[in-house]
Amino acid sequence: MLQFIKEGTVIPFMKIKGIVEICCLALVVLSIVSMAMKGLNWGLDFTGGIVIETKYSKAMDLDEVRDAYANNGIVGVAQHFGSTRDVMIRVAPQEGLNQQIVADKVMQAAHTLDPEATLSRSEYVGPSVGEELVQSGILAIVVSLIAILAYIAFRFEWRMATGAVISLAYDVIIVMGVFSFWQIEYDLTVLAAVLTVVGYSLNDKIVVFDRIRENASRLPRDMTMDHLFDVSITQTLSRTIITSGTTLITVISLLLFGGTLIHGFALALTVGIVFGTFSSIYVASTWALLLKIERRNLLPMKIEKKETDGMESLD
């Protein structure tokens, strides 16, 4: 594998673990304060709203359609579905706008673009459905974190499991804090991105923990735990740079060129991968050390076999 770090080099990551942890905690607190004061800008998937689908006789440019709808007083999320001749717009609940009024205004705008345009579907999604999606989304994140805690505790050690879950919670809170602070729409695609970040970040942490456990048996016994963690993280750093770097290239491409429809999804992945990589190096390992993990906690248990003389007594 391509190596970015010269063999034998050990980067003293744990030397500044206290300062980094304070900075991370500050970011988490700021994210929580932002969510408490400003809340999240929930998308129509969660708030409910009116869905209007229109069929045109020719391929339509979405920017042109959005402008036409906006000029007629209808602002929402417009996208193609099925083909470039089919356009769907989702409009948030507004005072004075019911389903029939929205449908009429959409069709008036559509006929200015294409006289042969027809209404395919008009539907109202109530807020109760959105509330159920919010609860399901929160439940999905909580259940995944609990399952991860159990898995890492079984495979490694409970202190490492605790550090991993805390760092994953950091990742989720930071992503949601970014969306809250800048009031970027939080829809189902963003929720999917958050769950993807949890899985991606977990994989990174498993690689680091696996190397730490391997080095606990291989490296000199008089080496401190801080230095053991430094050696292990440095050894996996090249792999982390390659994996995160190539993933970021793809995600940033989606962010820049993917359009408004997946902008939130790509932004959540970008923030999550950057902070998730950082938390794999510092947050997860730092919490394991703060919980006083020792080398003996990482060594495999020795099973002593009782010797027998090979004779059996018969009654």
Record the tokens describing residue 284, joined without a space. Answer: 């997860």
Tens of pLDDT, residue by residue over 246-303, are: 999 999 999 999 877 889 999 999 999 999 998 988 899 999 999 999 988 888 766 5
Kindly state whether residues 53 and 20 are assigned to the same domain: no
- Give residue 109's identity as a one-letter amino acid code: A
- Quote the DSSP letter at residue 294: -
Kindly state whether residues 147 and 23 are assigned to the same domain: yes
Tens of pLDDT, residue by residue over 47-69, are: 778 889 999 999 999 989 999 99
CA dist 203 → 35, 164, 171, 304, 305 (Å): 28, 10, 13, 34, 36
- Average pLDDT of the chain is 87
Residue 74, domain member (yes or no) = yes
CA dist 205 → 36, 81, 198, 228, 285 (Å): 29, 38, 11, 16, 9
Kindly state whether residues 208 and 68 are assigned to the same domain: no
- Tell me if 273 sits within 8 A of 247, measured CB to CB: yes
Which residue, 125, 154, 181, sits at the end of a domain?
125
Kindly state whether residues 179 and 106 are assigned to the same domain: no
The domain that contains 290 carries what CATH number? 1.20.1640.10
The residues, any chain, with a CB within 8 Å of residue 71's CB and separated by 6 or more, are: 109
- Quote the DSSP letter at residue 41: E
Residue 304, domain member (yes or no) = no
Ranked by mean pLDDT, which of 52-56, 121-125, 136-140 comes out on top? 52-56
Residue 185 pLDDT > 50: yes
Kindly state whether residues 71 and 177 are assigned to the same domain: no
How much is the CA Rg of the chain, to the nearest whole Å? 27
Kindly state whether residues 103 and 232 are assigned to the same domain: no
Residue 114's φ and ψ, nearest 5 degrees, are -150, 105
| Residue 232 binned pLDDT confidence (cut-offs 50, 70, 90) | very high
Q: Is the dihedral of CA 126, 128, 129, 133 positive or negative?
A: positive
Residue 312, domain member (yes or no) = no
Kindly state whether residues 36 and 139 are assigned to the same domain: yes
Kindly state whether residues 150 and 30 are assigned to the same domain: yes
Q: Which structural domain range is residue 59 located in?
A: 49-125
Residue 186's φ and ψ, nearest 5 degrees, are -110, 105
Work out how many domains the chain is built from and give that number. Answer: 2
Kindly state whether residues 211 and 67 are assigned to the same domain: no
Which residue, 94, 125, 156, sits at the end of a domain?
125
Which residue, 97, 125, 153, sits at the end of a domain?
125
Residue 108, domain member (yes or no) = yes
Kindly state whether residues 260 and 159 are assigned to the same domain: yes
The domain that contains 97 carries what CATH number? 3.30.70.3400
Confidence at residue 315, expressed as pLDDT on a 0 to 100 scale = 45
212 C-beta neighbours (distance < 10 Å), count:
25
Kindly state whether residues 99 and 175 are assigned to the same domain: no
CA dist 219 → 21, 102, 262, 287 (Å): 27, 69, 46, 22
Kindly state whether residues 151 and 282 are assigned to the same domain: yes
The number of C-alpha atoms within 13 Å of 273 and in the hemisphere containing its C-beta is 21
- How far apart (Å, rounded) are the C-alpha atoms in residues 255 and 268? 10
The number of C-alpha atoms within 13 Å of 227 and in the hemisphere containing its C-beta is 7
Confidence at residue 104, expressed as pLDDT on a 0 to 100 scale = 92
Tens of pLDDT, residue by residue over 146-159, are: 888 888 888 888 89
- How far apart (Å, rounded) are the C-alpha atoms in residues 298 and 214? 9
Widest pairwise Cα distance in the chain: 101
Confidence at residue 193, expressed as pLDDT on a 0 to 100 scale = 93
